[in-house]
Amino acid sequence: MKLSLAAGISLRSRTHPGRQRGVVLYVALVVMIVMMLAGVAMLRSVGAGVGVAGNLAFKQNSTKAADRGTDVAIPKILALAALSTNPWTASPTLPTAPLSPPSTPPNLTVLDVDQPAYGYTANWVPGFDPLATYSATNPATVDWAAAPLATPVGGDDGAGNTVRYVIHRMCKFSNLDTSPESLDPLSGEMQQCVGHGVTIRHVTKDAGSPARQLPLYRITSRTDGPRNTVSYVQVMVY
């Protein structure tokens, strides 16, 4: 009996380590696969994080670059005003692009009329949406490809940003002066302007004529930057 028991014990002691080594091999393979997948996921996560950070940096850069549109548009407004009879402006450098002549009545000024060559519209354009896809039949959209450049023609600002802008006079109607008593000939409605409470008198009218409103001007700039980044900035000036 003792010999048989010893033999059984001896047999079990020789077969058990072999089974144990096989299990360890499988566990090691599973652990290696899991570690490899975790490493791949970590690399992808780091790469995505770097990409997001880079895109945010380009976005911020393109947004700052849009200030160039404002810096260029303001002198254009002043230049157009200098060609009109509005007395509240100085006389900066005159524009060189062709101007649209004022239509009747004869007291209209350059700023009362749309000036496409300067990206200038003399009304606020109801429903204006600079982000919408351009449609020639929808005046609320913008043909950004044809808008004036604030960066050099055929170039950028040195950081890969191309800036364009449009200007809107914050009045309801074009081809009308800013007097609240001016009536639109088509609708019969009075002119309405968004301003800051200051009024002036048109120099071609007599002293008893209605005061003109001093409107705000909305400058909308678009920047096309690296990695297909697009930024829009709007500023109100007067």
For the chain, the average pLDDT equals 76
d(CA 233, CA 41): 38
d(CA 165, CA 119): 7
d(CA 102, CA 98): 13
Q: Compute the C-alpha angle 177/180/182, nearest 5°.
A: 50
Average pLDDT over residues 205-210: 48
d(CA 199, CA 195): 9
Q: Which amino acid belongs to residue 90?
A: A
Residue 24 banded pLDDT, cuts 50, 70, 90: confident
Residue 16 banded pLDDT, cuts 50, 70, 90: low
Q: 4-13, 192-201, 203-212 — which one is most confidently predicted on average? A: 192-201
Q: With the CA atoms of 167, 171, 172 and 176 taken in that order, what torsion angle do they form, in degrees rounded to the nearest 10?
A: -100
**Residues whose CB is less than 8 angstroms from the CB of residue 82 and which lie 6 or more positions away in sequence, other chains included:** 89, 90, 91, 92, 94
Sign of CA dihedral 59, 60, 61, 66: positive
Residues comprising the chain, all counted: 238
Which is higher by pLDDT, 14 or 161? Answer: 161
**φ, ψ for residue 89, nearest 5 deg:** -115, 160
Q: 51-60, 151-160, 187-196, 219-228 — which one is most confidently predicted on average? A: 219-228
Ordered by start, the domain boundaries in the chain are 1-65, 67-237
How high is the pLDDT of residue 50?
59
How high is the pLDDT of residue 35?
86
How high is the pLDDT of residue 216?
93
Average pLDDT over residues 88-112: 56
d(CA 52, CA 69): 27
Q: Is the Cβ–Cβ distance between 232 and 222 less than 8 Å?
A: yes
